[in-house]
Every structure is written in C-alpha cells, then in structure tokens.
Structure 1
Amino acid sequence: MSSDPLLQPYQLKHLKLRNRIIVTSHEPAYPEDGMPKGRYRAYHAERARGGVAMTMTAGSAAVSRDSPPVFNNILAWKDEVVPWVRELTDAVHEEGAAIMIQLTHLGRRTRWDKADWLPVVSPSHSREPSHRAFPKKAEDWDIARIVKDYADAAERMQAGGMDGIELQAYGHLMDQFWSPLTNELDGPYGGSLDNRLRFTFDVLSAIRERTGPDFIVGVRYTGDEMSEGGLTKADGIEISKRLRDSGLVDFLNVVRGHIDTDAGLTDVIPIQGMAGSPHLDFAGEIRAATGFPTFHAARIPDVATARHAIESGKLDMVGMTRAHMTDPHIVRKIIEKREDEIRPCVGANYCLDRIYQGGAAYCIHNAATGREETMPHVIPKAAARRKVVIVGAGPAGMEAARVAGERGHEVVVFEAANVAGGQVRLTALSARRREMIGIIDWRMAQCERLGVSFRFDTWAEAETVQAEHPDVVVIATGGMAHTEVLKEGNELVVSSWDIISGDVKPGANVLVFDDAGDHAGLQAAEIVAGTGAKVEIMTPDRSFAPEVMAMNLVPYMRSLQKLDATFTVTYRLEAVERNGNRLIAHVGSDYGGVLKQRHVDQVVVNHGTIPLDDLYFELKPLSRNLGEVSHDDLIAGKPQSVMRNPDGAFQLFRIGDAVAARNTHAAIYDALRLVKDI
C-alpha cells in the first residue's frame, strides 16, 4: 500500500472511500430539463474514472418549486429525477468512486421571475445584492412545507442510489435562518441561536425519519460569515459542535465567508492572483474543535497543498474541485507517479463565471471538460503517422501541437518569437494573471515529452512551410491589437497591448476606450492608474468589461477603485485630434444626440485583435481543401473530408484568433476538435 497520505482509504460510516481526494458539490450547469442526463453523467463518470474517491454533484439541487435555479440546476423536487439519478450513480459506482448530491432551498438567492414566478422566501425581507429579489418573510406554513420538501428530495436521492446527501448552508435558506443579518423572525425560528438553528434540525430530523439512520448526511456550511453583524468564528465553532452532537449528521464540509455579493463569493472561492488555500487553517480549527469528519475545498489546486491538508490532520477529505475540471485524472497520475503531467488549474475561473454568463461551465484550457460525450481527455493514436506543420505557438498552436503529438504524428511548430505563449504570455505579464502562463508551460512540457520540434525566432513564409513537405498545415498565427476603429485620429492612439507590454509609457491623464470588454482593457487601465495617473475607462456598452465576468472583475475593482479610476458606460469614442501637446477625444453615444470632449494626454484603445492571416491566404491555393472546413465533419467528430483542389499538396486549416478575435478557451477548443481527428 502507498504511504502517500492522499492515497490512504477513509471510512465514513459504512462507506469506504478509496483515497482522500474528493470533488466537492458544484453545478457545472449541464442538466437537461433539470435532469442529470447523458452530459452530466459523462462529466462525473470521467472524474470517477480518473480515480477520485468521491464526486459530489449539484451545487445545489433544488428541493422546492419556490427555489428556482438562477442557472441550470438539478430539480430534486421532481419524481422523474430518480431514474436519472440512478443512471448517474451507477455510472460513477462502476468506476469505483462514491457519489453524493447537495440539496438546498435557495431562499432569497434566486429570483421571483424564474420558473413558476413564485415569491422568493426567506426569514426576512432583506434583499440579496447578487440576485436582487425582495423576498417574502417566511410564514409557519412555508417552513413546514419546505421541511417536507427536503425530506422528499432526500428520499428521492436515496432511491436513486446516492451514497449520501449534503445540505447547503451558506448563503442559501439554511444559513439565512442562521445569520442575524438575514433572520428577522420572531418566535421559534428567530432570535436566539437555538431558534435560528431550529429550521436546520427540523430538516435533518425529517430526513432521518424518512431515510433511516444509515444513509449518510452532511452539511456544507459557513463557519464564519466574515461580515459585520453576521455569524462569527465563535458562532461557527458552536454550530459545528451542535451539528456533531445532534446525531443527525455524519460529516462537516466547512467554508468561510459570505456569498451574497460578487466580492464575497470571490473571497469564498478565490481566483488567480489571490491567496491559495486561504481557509484551510480555519477548516483545520473546526476539525480540531469537533474531532468530527471534516471536508473542505477552496482554491486547493495542487497536489502538494492537498497532501499537506491531509498529512497535517487539518482535513479528513480534501476537495480539489476546479482542479478536477482542469484534469479529471489527477489521482490516477499520482498513483502512476506522473504528477508532473497533471494539467494545472490556473485559477482563471472561466468555469464558474461562465455559468452565469454562458450557461455552462468550461475549463479555460481543457476543452474536453463538459464535452466528455464528444471530446477526449485522453487522445487516441492515429491509424497512420502524418507530417503536421503548425505556425504559431500561442494557446491554439500549442494545443494543436500537443494533440497532434499525442496522435503520434511528426509535428513541427514555427514561432516568430523566441518563446511560446502568444497573447497568454502578454496577459501573464500582469502579476494577478501570472498563473496563466501555466497554460503554455504545461503544453510545452507535454510537447517535449512527445517529441514535437519547435523552430523559434522563425518568421514562416509560404516557402518555409512547403519545404517541410507537410501533410497538414495549421495556421495559428493569432492576431494583432486592432486600434483602427475611429473616424479620425487612429494614428494618435495606443493599444492596450502597448501598455501591458511596456512598449509605451503611460500618460498622466488617460482615456481607456474599451469596447472589447476583455481583460486587456482593465489590465492596461490598472497599469496606468498604478503610476498615479488619472484614468477614465469608457465603454459603449451598458456595463464595462462584460467578457471579464463577475468573479474575475472583483480584484480589478478592488484595485481600480482604490486608485480612483472613473468608469463611464454607454459612451463611444469617435475621434481623436491633437491640440498642442495634448489630445482632444471626441465622444458620442450609440443612443444618439450626444457629443462630448475629453482633454487628455493619452488615449488607449482596446478593440480585440485583427487576424494575422497573410500566410494562410498565401498557402490557400496550394492546399487540397483550399482552406475550407466542413462544419458538419467538425461537429460530428469526423476527419475533414473536403477536397477542392486534387493537385494540392496538403490540407490547410486555421484556428484561434487567426480566424477571428475570441478567447483562450475558444482557441484551445478549435485546436482540440480539429486535430483529434487528423
């Protein structure tokens, strides 16, 4: 047996867990019609196949009709969920892992205009900032109804073969009862801590009565709201002891903080540029105070930290949830002594942020996550070896090289710079986004292992490519910053890239015009503001930086607000003219009827990229497919079959920003789904 602390089994009641690593409850928003169907099942089965001890589903499954999910969650209040849960649990069990599900009533953390348009219910009329609904104050019959709903849902999950359930008590209805900030009830469910906990113990008792003493039940809860007037650390320890002593609970899953605002949620679930494992020591204090099975997850992205969490006795089971979205085979790689091959979570939080904005979670640099039914995590070998030439070593080109190498092809990569990285290397220049370079570093290590040949400091021409006698050419040359967007004065502006790279020194009074809405605009603004300059960030959109998304926006706002940056929405920069040694920025609006001026000494434009596609168009007439991609073949997962020029020497494709300005995930997905079939 291995001496690795992470690989030791753990006995939780009657359930033997095969190691100490779990995927904690989370909702990637993959249900269909509120049910965990094929896509959901494939996602969790892949993590079970990768060796995790237990995968915990649903963050969280709704127990009541008046708890409508604000994104795509499992509807545990429906009887029809049972057979789908059975198929899910069977698939996970077949791979040797345990599986549990998290149940909840959202309380005020939802909206009244979802699903059945029922009033939002909570122990007070206090509105949650994130979801903005004003709740109804719960009546006695609401409480009785919801207690029964919890018991009904637990019974359904037991019937579906789940190994256990977890109740969610941070930011949702249970915690809304616990917290003095959100409980304004009188009588048996409000006032004292005893009364504020009564709803939880009513629910637990009802669940036990329905499911029996052997079914595993845990609670994921905040042990310290870290909010003035809310639950304190002392309260959390007392609650922890009461949960332990109740005889109704089998494990504690501890978090710290509050999630009613974007900033609060980001502190509970930190992203890149923030401290790693910030609540691990606190979870260890709860375990020490209770001596009870304790789980925890919060930015524990690497094996070394997870190992420390178990070896030091801080936790019984360590959650590596986002890490398993990045690499579902972490445990298998630990067992096989291949830890250096684990794909790193870079903390970009594209997964969580995209649930709200895009409707489903995807990993920024593992395009197979959430697409397990169509995209492979392990790349199969090709039937025949081919020569593949790739131009560009940004994220698209590096993924194409890795996948082609895994396929067993001979791969040559041309890159004009002296290192790989492209735009990822640029964005990683900012301290907060330094971890992004892991996207490139991991791929470079994989390419070296696979024998990919790199030709750095090489500007590839058509002749350069032809001299390699390729079977397939992939153009991944990316794009260049696009600033030619004004009616007049384009020559007077600089790009966000100019500022981030340090090629242009920031001015003293700067207008940042950002209509791409991505990280580059805010990164440039932060660099400029950090010099003490006056900065205005302007966008024609209704909100600024929409592509950055909620949790990623939090660190920028904390920095830029302290630096006194100004944010202006719904105004468009139209022209710039020189006025002595200063600039006049002419500002209009898409809504019409407005013309304003700004007197500044520098204008920074962030307008995405324009493709670097000259080489592609030079090679196009020489190719067999004339550059054409069959969308039908691509989507169906078939090799490209287009033949437009029988005399052509090679197939030609372009991917990533060489096609159009998008993002890192899109570039990597382009590469994976094309090259996996070459």
Structure 2
Amino acid sequence: MSTDETGGDARGAAAGDGGRVDPLLSPVTIGRLRLRNRILSTAHAPAFAEGGHPRERYAAYHVEKAKGGLALTMIGGSTNVSVDSPSVFGQLYAGDDSILPWFRALTDGVKAHGAAVMCQLTHMGRRTLWDDGAWLPVVAPSPLRERAHRAIPKALEPADLGRIRRDFARAARRCVAAGFDGIELLAHGHLLGQLLTPHANRREDALGGPLEQRLVAVLDIVRGVRDAIGPEPALGLRIPGDEHRGGGLSAEDCVAIARALAGSGAIDFLNVVAGAPYDNLGLAEWVPPMGMGEVGHLAAAGRIRAAARVPVFAAGGVADLATARYGLAEGLVDMVGMTRAHMADPHLVAKLARGEEDRIRPCVGLGYCVDRVNQGKAAVCGHNVATGRELTLPHVIPPTDGARKRVLVVGGGPGGLEAARVAALRGHAVTLHEATARLGGQLLLAGAGTVRRQTLGVVEWLVDEVVRTGVDVRFESYLEAEDVLAAQADVVVLATGGLPAIPDVPGAERIDSVHDLLGGAVRPEGTLVVYDEIGGHAAAAAAEVAARKIVSQPGARAGARVIFVTPDEMPLQDLGPTTRAVALRALFRLGVVFVPNRALVGVEPQERARGNGLGLRLENTLTGEPEPIEAAGLVVENGTVPLDEIWRALVPHASNAGVLGLDRIGEDRFDFPIENPSGRFVLARIGDAVASRNMHAAMLEGMRVAMSL
C-alpha cells in the first residue's frame, strides 16, 4: 500500500490538510515513488517521434509540463516493444538500444524540474497495420478485424507470445536504465487488452475461455516485467473500467481484472479509462471531444479503486480542476490524469499553486490534438499554439528586449486577440479595434449549435487575458485606412478575417452562407440543403442548428428535413475521427440525410405548391451525370475570401510594404524587410485576412507577429 508524506494511506490523503491545502496539491507515494501532487499527464502519442526516438521536440514538450509543476508525466503513449507492432501514429520504439540516449536526455530534463517521469509500453496487436514497418502480419488472440485499423490479424501462436513477453521485459529494462521512475503497460485496446476482452478473444484453448483463463498470459507478462526491472521502479497498467459495448468487458469484468492484477503483488497502480477504441466513436469515448457527453471515466475509476487495494489514476476525460477535485474528494481516484488540459496549459499546476486558477487556459475539447495524430500529423492544441513548439515559442511570454512599440490591431477574432495578448505581455502599448459589439469573430458562430458550443470557452479566455494585460479595446470601431494612418502606430496588425465565399455558379445570388444561418439571418423552413465544399465544423454546425429548428417548428411541414450535400466522398472529410464521429452521430439522430459525391453546379428558382423554392442543379462527381433536387432553401460552406481592402490601401504606407519575411520561419518568427524606406509603420496581415484557414492558423500567425516585434 502506498503512503502519503505523513505516512498515512495515500488513498485518504486527497482530503488535504483540514481544507487549507488544495487536495490536488497534496503529495502521494506510488510504490516507492514520491510525487509532489495529484496531477499527471498520462501517456499519449503526440507524433513528435523522429525515427522512433523522443528527440529535442518531444523532450521539450514534456519538460515544459515539468516546469509547469505537475507531479508526473508519462511519455511514450503506445511505445512499441516488438517488430511486429509498427507505429501507425508516430509512436516511439523501445525494441532496441538506439533509443537509450534520447530516453536519458528526456528523463534528465523532466527530473531537473522536480517531476517524475514514466514510460508506457505496449504491443498493439491488431490495432496497427501489416503494410508498414517490416510488413509482418499483425497478431491478435483471434483473427478478427478491428474497424479502426482494418488489418485482419493472424491468431497469436505460443511462440509469438513467448517472444512478445521477452520483448516487454527487455524494453522495460531499457526504460529503467535510462532513468524512468516507472513503467505503465497498456492493457486497453492493444494486445494485452485484446487478450482480456471477449470482443477480440474468441479462442477456445488456454488463451481463451473464461476471464480467469484469459488473464493468465497477461499476468505472466506483468510478472516478467516486474522481474526484469526489480522492486524499485513503479509498475502499473492502463486498463478499461467498462468497455461500454455488447460483447466486450463489462464493468464487473473490469473490476475482476483489477482485483487479479492488484492481487498479483507485482504492480503499484492502475490507470483506468472507459470505452473501447475499436471504431471512431469508441475512440471518441476514450478521448472525448466536446459534444460527446458523459463517458464515465471517473465513475469507472471509482469502481476499480473500491475493489483493488492499489492506487488508482483516472486516465482520461478530466479537463478541468473542479472535476479533478471531485474525483479526489469522492474517493474515486488517487491521481487525476489531465493530459489534454496540459496541452492547453502546461503551467496549469503552477497557476493553481499561485492562486491563479482563473488564468488557466482551458481545454474545451476541440479534439484538434487527437484528430491530427489520427490523420498522420503532429499534435497541436487548437488554441495554444506554443504546445508542440516549445523549442521556438514560449508558454510564459517574455518581455521584449527591444524598444516598446505602439501596436494597433484591427479585428477581434482569435488571431487578433492572440496578437494583442502576446504583444501586450511583451510590454508594447496595444490598441484593438473591433467593428462589432463583441470580441470573438467567427468563433461566436460556434455557439449557435450544441455539439461545438464549448468553443466559446476559447473566446472567454482570450478576452479575459486581453483585458488583464491592459489592451485598449474599442468596440464598434470600424477603421478605414485614413483612420489607421491617423493613429500613428509603429505596428499595424490586420486580423480583419474574411467574408463567406459563395460558389461561382449560375444563380449564385440565391445562395446563403452557413454564416447567415448560424448568425440568425436565415430561418430554415421546409427542406433545407446544406452544401459543404470544405469538410469542417461549420457546415456540421449549420446542419445541426437547421435540423433542430425544423424539428421544433409548430406544424412543421411533413417531410421537412436537412439534406447535407458534399462533393467529397464522405461528409465532414477534413475532420479527424473523434470529432467527425460525434458530429455525424448528432446529425443522424436529427434525421439529416447525407448525399456525398455531388457538386453544386447551379441554382434556379422553382415554383412550389406552398411558396417559392429552389431548384438545385447537382452533378455526380464520379459519373458527371446531372442529379437535380428541389429544396425550400440552400446554405453553403465554401470557406472565406479575405477582407483585405484596408491592407491593400495601407501597403504603400508601410515600411515593409506588408511583406512578412520568411527567413526565420523555422524559429517561428517573421522578418519585416525594409521595402519602403519612407514607410511609417510595419504592416502585418494574419489569419483569414490572408487566406481561409482555421483558428489555430490565425492564432499562430498572431503570436509569430507579436514575438517578432
């Protein structure tokens, strides 16, 4: 049993010191490892690995969290131990000694800031690909295909199991030799978990059958790892608390697994997660984005903790400190995993300790981090652009080492707000002009629906920080070029955004944009077509809002509905698997009809029995055949066109002629070349004022400009 710093049961330490100490900041001991508080970042794969190694970028990402005060960071989400478990989303490979120098540099860096560090090890079983790496067949207990990764595995043979057991032990020894404080084995969704769940294990030999029999091989691997690393390092497993699906592990099964693991005497902790990542919605249960609803990670952890006499962590689903405190106060967990919360703000714990909880940048569940990894890209936080860029961008903004400047920001969307925030923190005098009565720009439209409503949390944090930093914000201030010239600023940042782009087709004058619908200018009645050329969140939000309004209208016309048309081969194609699955589920539940592979080629008026409508000329993108349909209305998502007239008017007056030099872009800095020696100010244009992109791109450009001053 682990103890807290006073020698008591760690499972009771969360109550704090008579209420005077935040329970999240109370220390705990796991096995023989002392941890300074109850907050950890659980193992995940940010896809920063290079050659299967955690090099400078990977290390800097984890060291930043140690600087920020957390107790424990787990690295190496899905670190592979065997050659027939190839990486599919940028994982590490601990199957040979080449990783040791990189491991040692990372562990030294984390420990230098007072945090502990563990590594997660796994064999992915069927949750990988056969046509990558060494092109070996994937292995699993039974030859059953997983929908998420799609490979049909060969059935695990005794020789495979013996080899994999040795691979786990060798990889664990490497981790300990490199200075890790502990090891976590992944027994959820991957091979160890596949052995346990009847969803993936249909065998009738010694590896299958009842749960007690399915546990034997897993317990053997666990004991092999403990024998390999000795008694000092902490050893635990990430396990499911409930797979939430028929034919999978029930909550009772998971409790029995936890009891058996704890009773083995080989482990020091269990890390509990809910759901089963066998398809995209299951992955969304595991790593829930906004709109997912309650998944029950803490409840699952609480059942395990009540049954198993080892400390229990919650591995997912906790994004805010109030929920984390609840988990401790109710005795559901001993430590709380706040992984994506640390991607949003790696200094979360330090701010809490300083009494600045209200300044923590919140994780709102954008899902951008997880989805990018599952799209084969490196993880970034949707609204903290320094995350994953710690080598070039700071989380704690330093003052400028040059002259203080007068900075004028035009536009109060996310890009303009970030530019203003960072410039003000650097010591510049910043004035922000917003043409409307509210800050937030296009992000405000996300609040019209329910699935993506939490996006408004990004706006709230940015606005609070801009106010705190002393930015002079002026509302309903629409500037012309002559107004900017009269302001006599040293730097002008144009974050004016864009206007909805309407497709260039006959009858385009009859088309409304999804912005019109989300902003309330279009009232959906009858059958509405949402036409989506982009494949992102905006069209999904519009379809959701329209469908809810149509359904709720008194006396709604029979058959009235939303038809979602896209030229792509699947709806919402640019979204990653978790956010797409959640958005599609919401739209299916509202009766939205999906029509892919259809391009809009024209719109014409159509006489209808109950009022005017539209005739939409669609064309099959594969056959070229015309497929006309009728509707009461049409809204389109086609991105934006830059609102840049003011930029063109100001270019002749700018010393850099509006040019942002790219010589230092590898350092995340812009140059402002002297193109016009008589120019009166530096001119920068960012975000959708340049080209239609997303919030992260706008905020990144805002920060790059401000850090370059």
User: Shared topology, TM-score over 0.5?
Assistant: yes
The whole-number CA distance in structure 2 between the counterparts of 1:638 and 1:433 is 32
- Measured on the aligned residues, the alpha-carbon RMSD in Å equals 1.4
In the alignment, residue 158 of structure 1 is paired with which amino acid? V
Answer yes or no: is 1:561 the counterpart of 2:588: yes
Stretches of structure 1 that go unaligned for 5 or more consecutive residues are none
Aligned match of 1:630: 661
In the alignment, residue 262 of structure 2 is paired with which amino acid? R
**CA separation of 1:672/1:638 partners in 2, compared to 1, >3 Å: closer, same or farther?**
closer
| Mean Cα deviation higher: 292-301 or 363-372 | 292-301
Contact 1:277/1:298, CA 8 A, preserved across alignment: no
The whole-number CA distance in structure 1 between the counterparts of 2:139 and 2:665 is 46
Answer yes or no: is 1:312 the counterpart of 2:330: yes
**CA separation of 1:171/1:313 partners in 2, compared to 1, >3 Å: closer, same or farther?**
same
Q: What SS class does the counterpart of residue 368 from structure 1 fall into?
A: coil
Answer yes or no: is 1:426 the counterpart of 2:445: yes
Show CA shifts across 1:209-244 (max 9, x none): 221122211000112211112211111111111111
The whole-number CA distance in structure 2 between the counterparts of 1:96 and 1:153 is 25
The whole-number CA distance in structure 1 between the counterparts of 2:561 and 2:222 is 56
Aligned match of 1:602: 633
Answer yes or no: is 1:665 the counterpart of 2:696: yes
Give TM-score scaled by structure 1 length: 0.98
Q: CA deviation at 1:493?
A: 1.2
Contact 2:660/2:670, CA 8 A, preserved across alignment: no
Q: CA deviation at 1:675?
A: 1.0
Q: CA deviation at 1:536?
A: 1.8
**Percent identity of equivalent pairs:** 45
Q: CA deviation at 1:62?
A: 0.5
Q: CA deviation at 1:525?
A: 1.2
Aligned match of 2:161: 143
Contact 1:633/1:641, CA 8 A, preserved across alignment: no
| Mean Cα deviation higher: 318-327 or 218-227 | 218-227
Q: CA deviation at 1:349?
A: 1.0
The whole-number CA distance in structure 1 between the counterparts of 2:667 and 2:81 is 37
Q: What SS class does the counterpart of residue 125 from structure 1 fall into?
A: coil
Q: CA deviation at 1:432?
A: 2.2
Show CA shifts across 1:90-140 (max 9, x none): 110111100001111111111111111110100111100111111101111
Answer yes or no: is 1:474 the counterpart of 2:530: no
Match of 1:459 among 475, 478, 494: 478
The whole-number CA distance in structure 1 between the counterparts of 2:640 and 2:467 is 30
Aligned match of 2:606: 579
Q: CA deviation at 1:503?
A: 0.9
Answer yes or no: is 1:332 the counterpart of 2:359: no
The whole-number CA distance in structure 2 between the counterparts of 1:301 and 1:229 is 30
Aligned match of 1:279: 297
Contact 1:486/1:573, CA 8 A, preserved across alignment: no
The whole-number CA distance in structure 1 between the counterparts of 2:665 and 2:154 is 50
Match of 1:251 among 250, 265, 269: 269
Show CA shifts across 1:325-383 (max 9, x none): 00000111111111111111111010001112251110000000001001111111113
Q: CA deviation at 1:637?
A: 4.4
In the alignment, residue 471 of structure 2 is paired with which amino acid? V
Match of 1:7 among 15, 21, 25: 25
Q: CA deviation at 1:501?
A: 1.4
In the alignment, residue 645 of structure 1 is paired with which amino acid? N
Aligned match of 1:218: 236
Contact 1:395/1:668, CA 8 A, preserved across alignment: yes
The whole-number CA distance in structure 2 between the counterparts of 1:51 and 1:318 is 14
Q: What SS class does the counterpart of residue 457 from structure 2 fall into?
A: helix
| Mean Cα deviation higher: 110-119 or 556-565 | 556-565
The whole-number CA distance in structure 2 between the counterparts of 1:466 and 1:654 is 16
**CA separation of 1:206/1:358 partners in 2, compared to 1, >3 Å: closer, same or farther?**
closer
Q: CA deviation at 1:543?
A: 2.1
Aligned length: 677
Structure 2 counterparts to residues 279-678 of structure 1, below 5 A: 279-382=297-400, 383-483=402-502, 485-530=503-548, 531-532=550-551, 533-580=560-607, 581-638=612-669, 640-678=671-709
Contact 2:619/2:627, CA 8 A, preserved across alignment: yes
Structure 2 counterparts to residues 124-139 of structure 1, below 5 A: 124-139=142-157
**CA separation of 1:357/1:175 partners in 2, compared to 1, >3 Å: closer, same or farther?**
same
Show CA shifts across 1:555-582 (max 9, x none): 2222211222221222211111112222
Q: CA deviation at 1:405?
A: 0.5
Aligned match of 1:26: 44
Answer yes or no: is 1:75 the counterpart of 2:93: yes
Answer yes or no: is 1:200 the counterpart of 2:218: yes
Structure 2 counterparts to residues 106-255 of structure 1, below 5 A: 106-255=124-273
Stretches of structure 2 that go unaligned for 5 or more consecutive residues are 1-16, 552-559
In the alignment, residue 608 of structure 1 is paired with which amino acid? G
The whole-number CA distance in structure 1 between the counterparts of 2:581 and 2:253 is 28
Match of 1:97 among 115, 121, 146: 115
Contact 1:17/1:98, CA 8 A, preserved across alignment: yes
Q: What SS class does the counterpart of residue 412 from structure 1 fall into?
A: strand
Q: What SS class does the counterpart of residue 336 from structure 2 fall into?
A: strand
Structure 2 counterparts to residues 37-56 of structure 1, below 5 A: 37-56=55-74
The whole-number CA distance in structure 1 between the counterparts of 2:254 and 2:127 is 21
In the alignment, residue 691 of structure 2 is paired with which amino acid? A
The whole-number CA distance in structure 2 between the counterparts of 1:252 and 1:408 is 47
The whole-number CA distance in structure 2 between the counterparts of 1:212 and 1:380 is 44
Give TM-score scaled by structure 2 length: 0.94
Contact 1:634/1:674, CA 8 A, preserved across alignment: no
Contact 1:276/1:300, CA 8 A, preserved across alignment: no
The whole-number CA distance in structure 1 between the counterparts of 2:647 and 2:373 is 35
Contact 2:564/2:595, CA 8 A, preserved across alignment: yes
Q: What SS class does the counterpart of residue 575 from structure 1 fall into?
A: strand
| Mean Cα deviation higher: 181-190 or 91-100 | 181-190
The whole-number CA distance in structure 2 between the counterparts of 1:535 and 1:274 is 22
In the alignment, residue 432 of structure 1 is paired with which amino acid? V
Show CA shifts across 1:475-506 (max 9, x none): 000011111x1320101111111111111011
The whole-number CA distance in structure 2 between the counterparts of 1:638 and 1:664 is 19
Contact 1:278/1:298, CA 8 A, preserved across alignment: no
Contact 1:656/1:666, CA 8 A, preserved across alignment: yes
The whole-number CA distance in structure 2 between the counterparts of 1:529 and 1:191 is 47
Aligned match of 2:11: none
The whole-number CA distance in structure 2 between the counterparts of 1:278 and 1:195 is 28
**CA separation of 1:454/1:232 partners in 2, compared to 1, >3 Å: closer, same or farther?**
same
The whole-number CA distance in structure 1 between the counterparts of 2:531 and 2:465 is 39
Q: CA deviation at 1:674?
A: 1.6
| Mean Cα deviation higher: 565-574 or 384-393 | 565-574
Aligned match of 2:3: none
In the alignment, residue 75 of structure 1 is paired with which amino acid? Y
In the alignment, residue 286 of structure 1 is paired with which amino acid? I
Show CA shifts across 1:383-419 (max 9, x none): 3210000000000000000001101100001111101
Q: CA deviation at 1:592?
A: 4.9
Aligned match of 1:63: 81
Contact 1:392/1:478, CA 8 A, preserved across alignment: yes
Q: CA deviation at 1:276?
A: 5.7
